[in-house]
Amino acid sequence: MSRIIVYPGTFDPITNGHIDLIKRALKLFDKVIVAVGVHPGKSPLFDFDERVDMIRQTIGTMEGVEVEAFDGLLVDFARRHGANAILRGLRAVSDFEYELQRAIMNRKLDRNIETVFLMTGFRWIFVSSTIVKEAAQFGGSLEGLVPPLVEKKMKERYQQLRAKKG
């Protein structure tokens, strides 16, 4: 029986912190499914297809990793893909409170799917998609925070947005 874990998120954009968690999860599981989802409370910089495409181009060749788009209940997605666990990264204590609530709800929805928490590597503890977007919006360097392809796409997107305003 394969050990499969689903790593859900909006990944707007994917960061090197996300990639670090994927690589570490591969040491514990046979397969990591990066599940790119829609979050109704967020206004993404990149649309759904762009995010999936960037992730596939960035990590799609990693052995044991699949990238899938999803909408709906995470536990339903996990069940359909034969996953027995959900991966969540924690940077700080404040993340835990939010993630604990989600884990309890997922457990209520399906008792056969566990939530696995991995602490973000110390090098990435301050990195979030939101912080990366804020830095990029004002022309800050993203070197070492996101894959080069993502940095390029973010610079292009913010140039397009500035041109629309200007």
**How much of the chain exceeds pLDDT 70, in percent?**
99
pLDDT tens readout for residues 49-65: 999 999 999 997 899 99
Please name the residue that has the structure tokens 């829609």: 38
* Backbone Cα Rg of the chain: 16
104 — pLDDT class (breaks 50, 70, 90): very high
pLDDT at residue 161, rounded to an integer: 86
CA distance 108 to 62: 32
- Which tokens go with 17? 């912190």
May I ask the CATH class of domain 4-125? alpha beta
Query: pTM score > 0.85 for this model?
Result: yes
Give 3-state DSSP helix, strand, coil % of the chain, rounded to 5: 45, 20, 35
Strand partners, 31: 4
pLDDT tens readout for residues 142-155: 999 999 999 999 99
CA distance 37 to 53: 13
**Which of the residues are catalytic?**
18, 42, 91, 129
